[in-house]
Amino acid sequence: MSASNAQRRRKNWILIAAVLVIMILGVWSGQPDRLPTPYFDVARPMVIAHQGGNLLRPGNTFEAFDHAMSLGVDVLEMDVHLSADDQLVVIHDDTVERTTDGQGAVRDMTLADLQKLDAAYHWPFTGQPTRYRGQGVFIPSFQQVLDRYPGQRLVVELKEDSPRLAEALCEALTSSGREGLTLVASFHKAVMNHFRKVCPTTATSASSDEVRWFVIASKLYLGRLFHAPALALQVPKERDGMSLLLKEFLLQADSVNLHVDYWTLNSVADLRTAIQAGAHGVITDRPDLMLDELGRLDVRNY
């Protein structure tokens, strides 16, 4: 037997073993309660502005969010961390160097200190300053976002593997009555599970492990065996060398009522492919291009 044939057989056995595990887990766990929330009550495909549209305005700032809203997006996507004084702040990195004129860890700075920084200082990360530098663009708190955009759908990513971060986000959503209009995501399995425990009425996206299992099952046309509590999958167009931007993948997700968002699609070609495949949502730094493809762009604010 050639080495290539042996390797192929080994991969096949791994896939078979993975499917058996999925089937066993499905039998043991049963179908979880996954009740849709008002977040999903909007026409597809949902246009989700990544950090508010990070290629159009400085990401995770009111400059970006305001502009995205003026264009007519369905959802604002953002990232949250905790500050030193236990405040939820909207920023992608766990340090401030990449995006601002400051230095240090977000967790070591108070909200007041963070908001003194220029959140547009390095945008668009080409080394060339733009008209937004020095114009008072700051890091918003999550509460400020909630107050500024009442009733707006949000995707919020928990960036830290911290139970307290999950609890703080749940508290903010429930106190503002926004738990039903928000989808929460995280690459961290533990913090996602904790958020689901403390905030069961808020929809969540699949964790990395859950995505991995669904991708394996879907490629073997066994997506219906997926029994995780997630209501959504947020995936790239390719994973582990496999294309996911396919009608077949979406049909597998539909079989278990999973909403599928693709990230982060910024080219017209990818956006058109997503629309043609029947994507449920698209996360993009160029929401203007997606809205234009759908004939929904508000050109008055372009």
pLDDT exceeds 50 at position 234? yes
Sequential DSSP letters for 170-239: HHHHHHHT-GGGEEEE-S-HHHHHHHHHH-TTSEEBPPHHHHHHHHHHHHTT-GGG---S-SEEEE-SEE
- Residue pair 213/226 in contact (Cβ under 8 Å)? The answer is yes
What tens digit of pLDDT does each residue of 77-134 get?
999 999 999 999 999 999 999 999 999 999 999 999 999 999 999 999 777 778 899 9
What average pLDDT does the segment 249-265 reach?
A: 94
pLDDT exceeds 90 at position 31? no
Mean pLDDT estimate for the chain: 90
pLDDT exceeds 60 at position 67? yes
Cα→Cα distances 65→51, 57, 163, 268, Å: 8, 9, 27, 22
A 10 A CB-CB count for 127 gives 6
Q: Is 113 helix (H, G, I), strand (E, B) or coil?
A: helix
Whole-angstrom Cα distance, residue 70 to residue 298?
Answer: 7
Cα→Cα distances 217→104, 193, 197, Å: 42, 22, 26
pLDDT exceeds 90 at position 34? no
pLDDT exceeds 80 at position 33? no
What average pLDDT does the segment 152-172 reach?
A: 97
pLDDT band at 177 (very low <50, low <70, confident <90, very high): very high
pLDDT band at 25 (very low <50, low <70, confident <90, very high): low
| Domain residue spans of the chain | 1-30, 37-96+140-301
Bridge partners, 190 (sequence order): none
What average pLDDT does the segment 191-209 reach?
A: 95
pLDDT exceeds 60 at position 28? no
What average pLDDT does the segment 19-40 reach?
A: 63
N residues, the chain? 302
CATH code linked to domain 37-96+140-301: 3.20.20.190
Q: For position 29, what pLDDT does the model report?
A: 46
- Looking at residue 105, its amino acid is A
pLDDT exceeds 60 at position 27? no
- Residue pair 247/278 in contact (Cβ under 8 Å)? The answer is yes
Q: Which of 155, 209, 194, 171 is nearest to 25 (CA)?
A: 209
The dihedral sign for the CA sequence 64, 65, 71, 74: positive
pLDDT exceeds 50 at position 300? yes
- Looking at residue 204, its amino acid is T
Assigned token pair, 150 = 């009442």
What average pLDDT does the segment 3-28 reach?
A: 59
Q: For position 225, what pLDDT does the model report?
A: 80
Q: Kindly report whether the peptide bond that precedes residue 124 is cis, defined as omega within 30 degrees of 0.
A: yes
Q: For position 17, what pLDDT does the model report?
A: 66
What tens digit of pLDDT does each residue of 272-288 get?
999 999 999 999 999 99
